[in-house]
């Protein structure tokens, strides 16, 4: 096996990291935007910038992320990967740091923005927390870093710019956009698209800005990249930095030889995205497909029964398998089925794509968002949702659905009046991505059908 392409990918990736460090910390550009495919080492990059800024240059750095859990994760990595540096967690009084972080005694918790330390170091907060602190902060920072920037609106991020002359925004443009619950039609044609993901709005306003594109995914195998990149990241070419030898699934136990086993064998043979299809059936809009939930659980259970091993890395257990269902109700059905198969649901987590953003597992079982539907709605067509679902795995992902998705896609009638004037047709982009993924899986013989009965 020729490892050269993967070494090249890593070299390109290292070069991109060098560019970010240079432009952010030496050139001190006012705005650096990094577009990252899934698993390209965003957080690794962010920690590197923080470490150099604080340890080497003695700067004051503010870091924000959309969710508290993401900030805790960053704190953990800074504590584990670097020598002690001043880390301040700016958080509400009613929140507590997770126990593992408290036990490190390396993080100063600060509930009052006026009391933030004025020395070199890093202050970490959720974007909302820092937003409300803006009016109280008395000393500016040298650098503002935003992790998962595509999950934050421009309205949330814009007030933070005044805190630092330089800003680094790192994010994945293929993920779900920030959740806005009100009608944004009138905002869509305003001069400032404050409801858009912050990097997208900044790039609309400053099209000359040179985006740093991370060129390689360290998570996804090349086989997955071949499918996911053209479908979701047409403007962000990337390849895998993981050689097939590093992403090999071994199934040690014997096979029963049924459709599920054949799908798992395909994963072990290097086809990292495969589909298992139940006979076609239609379901009402809120109806749970219990049989499909049972099949998802059966696949997870069979994976465990076959003693999966990440070759050269470790034996895999229930905690190495994740499941995604875009609907809470049917996700609950998957959890129930997993329990019937004695798969612990505190280890084998079933969640929605929203909750899976930023996470990864060696193996994933995901429910096709269009399964069992006669008509497709905007929810199922949201490209970010499907992209998140197909890009969480390191070794392999089994897509489970009802057969007939191809027909539903072909018969789908596009709503030509839905999008506001002058806006991008996200539903069309989603349909195109779905169509591309489905037709490739079909053409490559990766859709395995469970016979009726």
Partner 1 sequence: MSTIFDLAARLLAYQAGRAIPTRRSSALMADPIPAFAIAPIRMVAEQVVYALAYGDPDDKPEIVLTWNPLDRDAGFLEPFAAALDRYLSDCVTAGEMPRVWLAHTAALEVIELLGHRYRTNRSVGPELQRMGAQCRLLAEETTFAGQQIVAVAGSLLAGHVATGQSPSEDLHLGALLAWIDPPAGTAVVDAAAQAALAPAAAMLARAADDRVEQLRARVASGRLREPAARVEAEAIIRAELLREWNLLVQARRAFWTLGLTQGPELTKLSAESFKRVAWQIDRNYGSPARPRSLAQRLDELTYAQELAAYADVADDPIVRATALSAGRVLDATIINRDQPRRGFQPCTLTLETCQQVLRVRAGTQLQLRGARVVGRITEVRELNAGQSVQLTLVITTGVRNPHLPAPGQRTDWMEPEPADLRYQKRQVYERMAASADTRVMGDTLPLARPQPADDDLATIARRLRR
Partner 2 sequence: MSLSGARGLIRVAHNPTCELQAAMMLTRVREQDVYLALAGTAYPGEYGERVSARRRGAQFEKNLYQDGAAVLRGTLAPLLGVAADDLTVRDLSEEVRGSSTAAMEERARRTDRILMDLAADRIVPDLLIQPQLQLTLAGNLASAIFIAPDVLALDRQRHVYLPVEIKSFIVRDGVVAQGDRDGARRQAAIQLLALAQELIPLGIADRLPEAAIFIFASPFGMRPHPAFAEQLSAELFEMRRVLDTMAQVRTHLQALGADAIADAEALALAAPRLATTYQESCVAGCLLAQICRQHAAAQPTILGDRAAQTLGETIDLPRALALLHGAPATDEREAWLGPALREAAARFDWSTVVQGRAA
Which residues are near partner 1 by CB under 8 A?
14, 17-18, 21-22, 25-31, 48-49, 51-52, 55-57, 68, 80-83, 94, 131-132, 134-135, 154-155, 158-159, 161-162, 165-167, 180-184, 186-187, 190-192, 194-195, 202, 205-206, 209, 284-286, 328-329, 332, 335-336, 339-340, 345
User: Can you read off the two tokens belonging to residue 102?
Assistant: 């408290």
**Partner from partner 2, partner 1, none contacting 245, C-beta within 5 to 8 A by type:** none
CB of 15 or CB of 424, closer to partner 2: 424
**Partner from partner 1, partner 2, none contacting 31, C-beta within 5 to 8 A by type:** partner 1
**Partner from partner 1, partner 2, none contacting 345, C-beta within 5 to 8 A by type:** partner 1
SS3 label, residue 310: strand
Q: 169 forms bridges with which residues in the sheet?
A: 33, 146
Whole-number Å distance between alpha carbons of 56 and 388: 36
Whole-number Å distance between alpha carbons of 434 and 58: 48
Whole-number Å distance between alpha carbons of 426 and 380: 11
Give burial (CB, 10 Å; 0-12/13-18/19+) of 183.
exposed
**Cβ–Cβ < 8 Å for 295, 451:** no
Q: How far is the CB of 226 from partner 2 (least distance, A)?
A: 23
Rounded to 5°, the CA angle 431-434-437 comes to 150
Q: Does 439 bind partner 2 (CB under 8 A)?
A: no
Q: Does 288 bind partner 2 (CB under 8 A)?
A: yes
**Of the residues 81, 415, 439, 445, which one makes contact with partner 2 according to CB under 8 A:** 415
Q: How far is the CB of 102 from partner 1 (least distance, A)?
A: 15
Q: Does 140 bind partner 2 (CB under 8 A)?
A: no
CB of 68 or CB of 125, closer to partner 1: 68
Counting every residue written for the chain, the total comes to 453
Give burial (CB, 10 Å; 0-12/13-18/19+) of 119.
exposed
Whole-number Å distance between alpha carbons of 342 and 91: 39
Whole-number Å distance between alpha carbons of 138 and 89: 17
CB of 140 or CB of 287, closer to partner 2: 287
**Partner from partner 1, partner 2, none contacting 236, C-beta within 5 to 8 A by type:** none
What x-and-dash track marks residues 417-436 binding partner 2 by CB under 8 A?
xxxxxx-xx-xx--xx----
CB of 340 or CB of 424, closer to partner 2: 424
CB of 4 or CB of 452, closer to partner 2: 452
Whole-number Å distance between alpha carbons of 380 and 387: 12
Q: How far is the CB of 280 from partner 1 (least distance, A)?
A: 21
What x-and-dash track marks residues 334-373 binding partner 2 by CB under 8 A?
----------------------------------------
**Partner from partner 1, partner 2, none contacting 138, C-beta within 5 to 8 A by type:** none
Strands 308-310 and 249-251: antiparallel
Whole-number Å distance between alpha carbons of 28 and 173: 24
HEC states along 251-276?
Answer: ECCCCCCCHHHHHHHHHHCCCCEEEE
**Partner from partner 2, partner 1, none contacting 235, C-beta within 5 to 8 A by type:** none
End-to-end CA separation in angstroms for the chain: 42
Whole-number Å distance between alpha carbons of 42 and 153: 19
User: Can you read off the two tokens belonging to residue 451?
Assistant: 């016979």
Q: Does 190 bind partner 2 (CB under 8 A)?
A: yes
Interface of this chain with partner 2, residues 256 to 285, rule: CB under 8 A: 281-285
Interface residue list for partner 2 (CB under 8 A): 185-186, 188-190, 281-288, 374-375, 413-422, 424-425, 427-428, 431-432
């Amino acid at each position: 096996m020729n490892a050269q392409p993967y070494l090249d990918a890593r070299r390109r990736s290292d070069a991109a990291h060098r560019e970010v460090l240079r432009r952010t910390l030496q050139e001190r550009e006012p705005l650096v935007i990094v577009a990252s495919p899934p698993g390209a080492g965003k957080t690794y990059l962010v920690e590197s910038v923080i470490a150099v800024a604080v340890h080497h240059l003695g700067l004051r750095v503010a870091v924000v992320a959309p969710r508290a859990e993401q900030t805790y994760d960053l704190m953990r990595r800074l504590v584990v990967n670097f020598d002690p540096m001043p880390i301040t967690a700016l958080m509400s009084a009613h929140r507590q740091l997770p126990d593992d972080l408290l036990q490190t005694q390396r993080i100063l918790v600060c509930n009052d923005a006026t009391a933030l330390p004025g020395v070199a170091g890093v202050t970490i907060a959720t974007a909302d927390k820092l937003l409300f602190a803006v009016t109280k902060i008395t000393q500016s920072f040298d650098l503002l870093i935003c992790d998962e920037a595509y999950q934050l609106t421009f309205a949330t991020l814009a007030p933070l710019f005044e805190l630092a002359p330089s800003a680094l925004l790192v994010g994945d443009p293929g993920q779900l956009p920030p959740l806005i619950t009100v009608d944004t039609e009138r905002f869509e044609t305003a001069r400032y698209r404050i409801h858009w993901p912050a990097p997208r709005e900044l790039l609309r306003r400053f099209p000359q800005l040179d985006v740093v594109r991370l060129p390689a995914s360290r998570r996804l195998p090349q086989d997955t990249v071949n499918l996911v990149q053209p479908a979701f990241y047409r403007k962000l070419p990337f390849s895998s930095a993981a050689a097939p030898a590093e992403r090999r699934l071994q199934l040690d136990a014997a096979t029963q030889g049924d459709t599920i086993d054949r799908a798992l064998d395909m994963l072990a043979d290097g086809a990292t995205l495969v589909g298992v299809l139940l006979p076609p059936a239609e379901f009402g809009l809120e109806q749970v497909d219990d049989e499909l939930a049972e099949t998802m659980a059966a696949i997870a259970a069979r994976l465990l029964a076959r003693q999966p091993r990440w070759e050269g890395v470790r034996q895999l257990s229930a905690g190495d398998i994740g499941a995604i269902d875009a609907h809470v109700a049917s996700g609950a059905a998957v959890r129930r089925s997993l329990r019937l198969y004695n798969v612990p649901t505190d280890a084998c987590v079933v969640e929605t794509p929203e909750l899976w953003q930023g996470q990864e597992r060696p193996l994933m079982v995901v429910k096709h968002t269009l399964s069992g539907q006669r008509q497709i709605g905007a929810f199922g067509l949201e490209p970010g949702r499907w992209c998140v679902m197909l890009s969480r795995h390191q070794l392999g992902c089994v897509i489970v659905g009802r057969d007939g998705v191809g027909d539903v896609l072909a018969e789908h009638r596009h709503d030509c009046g839905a999008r506001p004037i002058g806006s991008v047709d996200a539903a069309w982009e989603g349909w195109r991505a779905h169509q591309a993924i489905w037709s490739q899986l079909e053409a490559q013989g990766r859709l395995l059908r469970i016979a009726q009965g």
